[in-house]
Amino acid sequence: MKIGFDNKKYVKIQSKKIRERFKLFDKLYLEIGGKLFDDSHAARILPGFLKDSKINMFLELKDELEIIFCINAQDIEKRKTRGEYGITYDNEILRLIHLSIKMGFSVNSVVITLYNNQASVDKFIKKLNRNGIKTYIHTFTKGYPTDVDMIVSDLGYGANPYVETTKPLILVNAPGPGSGKLATCLSQIYHENKRGVNAGYAKFETFPVWNLPLKHPVNLAYEAATADLKDVNMIDSFHLEKYGETAINYNRDIEMFPVLKSILSKVSKKDLYFSPTDMGVNMVGFCITDEKVVEEACKKEIVRRYYDEMNHYKMGLCDEDTFKKIKLLMNELHISEDYLDVIKPALLKKEKDHVPVISIKVGKKILTGKQTDLLTPASSVILNAIKYLSKIPDDINLLSPNILEPMLKLKHDLGNESRLTLPEVLTALSICSVTNPIVEKALLKLTSLNGTDAHATYIVEDGDKSTLKELKINLTCESEFISFEDF
């Protein structure tokens, strides 16, 4: 993989900026924009960015910090799901807590925002409490967002319970956007200042990148990633007016800044920030080392987002405005739906054989796998890929009939479709590898598929899809179901 981003430089200068902001206050509430763990979007569009860069740069500060996680009660009630993992926001919170504790960080609590006596939320709170995780409930803030005097009063932020914190740096994170991180930070700062603590706020930003052009592919890729939220990148007019410097931010932060500035000024009794950009700590733009590599990565990501949202539309999960917005971004960059070079081969193979197909790019070679009487397309393409990487001839079968026959019989007896899915194939390969060194050699090549592109001529079923993602394959799918049962 060609590198276009200097991760070591990023960690160094981003950490330095955070420390500088840290020193301005007795206690800093640092809102984490985007993902604290597993920032795969950044890793895809900035080749060289390590997806756990954010959390790793806090390791040397872990004795001085604690983490608060926020989740919107409405997202629990609606069972909102993280697309890349296929798990609900409440389960994502549990995953994040587990990862944090495993790395040695102190998890303070979970704040449930916009609580309104939802039964499903009460059940989740019980689950957290019974597992030793403190919870706090925040309801809608009176006067928000226009009545600053009401907001910054005992009837506004003062009505929220104070989250007891003991460390000087508080990271505030969430499973996704709209979880109430900012409101939680401001509520805490209100309570801290009433207690005589000089508490402040800052935002750990990644995207959009303030010192890249408005239409830079990195910033357009952010718009594509947040198309469902209707986010739009804009020039920060407050920053331009104050400093005479062009900076890029997004509509929600810019629109809310006058209110936020008034709230922060009233809470802390001084003006700390003069623009939305001032609030952020974001050094990404200084660490791009190869513009062409990054531009290409961003174009590919935008196309992937387009296919994702087309699939979501077909499944009734978004409206057509979402994928149409991404199409407009593609038009700005002069790229089409078949920009990824795995797309046309898959469609041509399907047209020729009249069966569902998945193609994958391995090095400079594009391989295909089709649906057979025994295998799903995902199973076929992965078998073909690891055989190619292992230089195993096509006429050699990796899977023994002695393994396949009882598996297929069991599926048939249970009333399931008699094709082996990718998880089943990998399990069978693992069993065969114990006695077959050729299979063992092939299985070792699975990690070589990390970061490869693949395209399916249909909406891939959950089991195969999640396994392809676990293999870190960048999958796109045509918006077609194989059968009515899939629909």
State residue 402's pLDDT score.
73
Domains of the chain (ranges plus CATH)?
7-286 (3.10.630.10), 343-477 (3.40.140.40)
CA atoms within 13 A on the CB side of 343: 14
pLDDT at 84: 65
DSSP assignment string, 201-264: EEEE--SS-TTS-TT-HHHHHHHHHTGGGT--EEE-HHHHHHHS---EEEHHHHHHHHHHHHHH
Contact between 360 and 464 under an 8 Å Cβ cutoff? The reply is no
Mean pLDDT by 10 residues, the chain (487 residues): 94 93 93 90 96 91 95 93 79 95 97 96 96 96 90 94 96 92 94 93 94 98 92 96 97 90 85 94 97 98 97 90 96 96 97 97 96 93 97 87 78 77 94 91 96 97 92 96 59
Dihedrals phi, psi of 28, to nearest 5 degrees: -115, 125
Distance CA 91, CA 110 (A): 13
CB 247 within 8 A of CB 240: yes
Beta strand 357-362 pairing with 365-370? antiparallel
Q: Which residues contact 431 (CB under 8 A, 6 or more apart)?
A: 403
Q: Measuring CA to CA, which residue among 349, 443, 451 is closest to residue 390?
A: 443
| Residues contacting 115, CB < 8 A, separation 6+ | 73, 121, 137, 138, 139
Output the pLDDT for position 266.
85
Q: What is the pLDDT of residue 83?
A: 65
Q: What is the pLDDT of residue 453?
A: 98
Question: What tokens does 41 get?
Answer: 């979007």
In angstroms, the CA 41 to CA 34 distance is 9
Task: Output the furthest CA–CA distance in the chain (Å, rounded).
Answer: 77
From residue 20, alpha-carbon distances to 16, 193, 223, 281 in Å are 6, 21, 30, 10
450 burial level (CB within 10 Å; 0-12, 13-18, 19+):
exposed
- Dist. CA 252–CA 256, nearest whole Å: 6
